Amino acid sequence: MSVQFLSGNEAVAHGVRLSRPRVVAAYPITPQTVVVERLAEMVEDGDLAAEFVHVESEHSALALVMGSAAMGVRTFTATSSQGLLYMAECLYYTAGGRWPIVMMNANRALALPWNIYGDQSDSLALISSGWIQSYAETAQEALDLVIQSYAIAEDLRVRTPVLVNLDGFVLTHTYEPVDVPEQEQVDAFLPSPDFPVGYPGTFNQENPQSLAITAGPGDYTVFKFKQHQDMVAAAGPIREVDERFIQHFGRGVAGLTEGYQLDDAELVIVTLGSIAGTVRTVVDELRTEGVKAGLLRLRYLRPFPTAEVLAGLFGPQRSAKVAAIGILEKDISFGHQGTVSLEVKAALYEAATQGALPPAINFVAGLGGQEIGLADIRRFFTALAEAAQGQQKPLVQFLGMEHAQ
């Protein structure tokens, strides 16, 4: 293991190199480009024995790795923003076909207005596409998630593609020391990049298969039911992979969520991605001032970790009642709330039968690269404290638009 000073994008490229995909196809798009450039260099230098295919679009990139996966090999692609939306058709196709593709997405705003900076509206728009979705907090976690994603996606119980998300620029372009494992360590952790003969969804000379078949009205439901069931059940294999990763590499988080100062927290911010780091810092500051602040970070949005969210907020290990919940995300589902807020609140409904729920505020912040500072997160906690005391608050609050709402 060697510690290197890497950006989030470079960490992803190293995670991919160590996972030895046989085929890489990607179309460069800001802020993902560095991933593609590094992988191209690695292939050129002989550090990665993969077919690197230049494609004319993101749609082609995902279609190409889908075909490669159907030939029975590990694959990788990466995109961002408009590119992810352009791929949308192929996202559903690959998920429905159950090909274990791993893709990195640099979370970036969607046009219009034109904007190349970070927010999470791209991947959240495709949350129902059937892909597993994870969100990295750090470059280290991004590298680790890539390796873990192959173990999860290729598990026979899962067979579902994985989208690993990194906040554009804030995580893709910032540098930190990253533990880069040795090739032998990763080889011992992952199965062969050549799938075994007869692996579902792959061509087979001995026993010819028609892949990507038509299914009429009744049969279609069976396949969709199975897709859903297997995605829900994927939480188990994800946790197993996390635990095996910790044993194997000596670091990591076990579970689809991560709590920080959570068990006695009265004011909890639920969030995802790199902003969790800033929230941790504010939680530490508030704790020194006697405010019982806490963080619940969602590492995975699909499968949605309902049980873990409920356990974190209402579980028997808690020593204090949660008095207010803030859901902080870089997204808005126009006409309702942020997508993550909708997801979290749907999970909370499961707990509603056990008693009244605390007030919840959706903080929409960081749109189009908007900076979210320590002072902003402090204000979010203040708003939660006031809501906990019974003050009426807008349910959805846009950072920077306080004067207008």
Partner 1 sequence: MADQSDWKVRPFQRPKNPQDWPLTPQCESGYLATSNSGWRTLWPQILDNCNSCGLCFVYCPDGAIAKGENDFPYVLADWCKGCGLCAKECPKDAIRMNEDDQK
Nearer to partner 1 (CB atom), residue 207 or residue 288: 207
Smallest distance from partner 1 to CB 39, Å? 27
Smallest distance from partner 1 to CB 72, Å? 13
Nearer to partner 1 (CB atom), residue 98 or residue 292: 98
Q: Which helix (H) or strand (E) holds 40?
A: helix 33-44
Smallest distance from partner 1 to CB 60, Å? 22
Give CA–CA dist 132/277, Å, rounded.
23
Query: Rounded to the nearest 10 degrees, how much is the dihedral formed by the CA atoms of 220, 223, 226, 230?
Result: -130
Nearer to partner 1 (CB atom), residue 220 or residue 349: 220
Report yes or no: 86 and 58 within 8 Å, Cβ to Cβ: yes
Give the closest residue to 379 by CA, choosing from 399, 349, 401.
Answer: 399
- Report the interface residues with partner 1, using CB under 8 A: 96-99, 156, 159, 200-201, 207-216, 218-219, 222-223, 225-226, 229
Place of tokens 């846009």: 398
Nearer to partner 1 (CB atom), residue 223 or residue 249: 223
Nearer to partner 1 (CB atom), residue 209 or residue 391: 209
Smallest distance from partner 1 to CB 220, Å? 9
The three-point CA angle 33-35-38 to 5° equals 110
Distances (CA, A) of 15 to 21, 106, 185: 10, 15, 12
Nearer to partner 1 (CB atom), residue 197 or residue 222: 222
Give the closest residue to 80 by CA, choosing from 171, 166, 174.
Answer: 166
Smallest distance from partner 1 to CB 201, Å? 4
Report yes or no: 304 and 128 within 8 Å, Cβ to Cβ: no
- Residue 136, C-beta contacts closer than 8 angstroms, at least 6 positions apart: 8, 142, 145, 164, 165, 166, 171, 273, 274
Smallest distance from partner 1 to CB 147, Å? 24
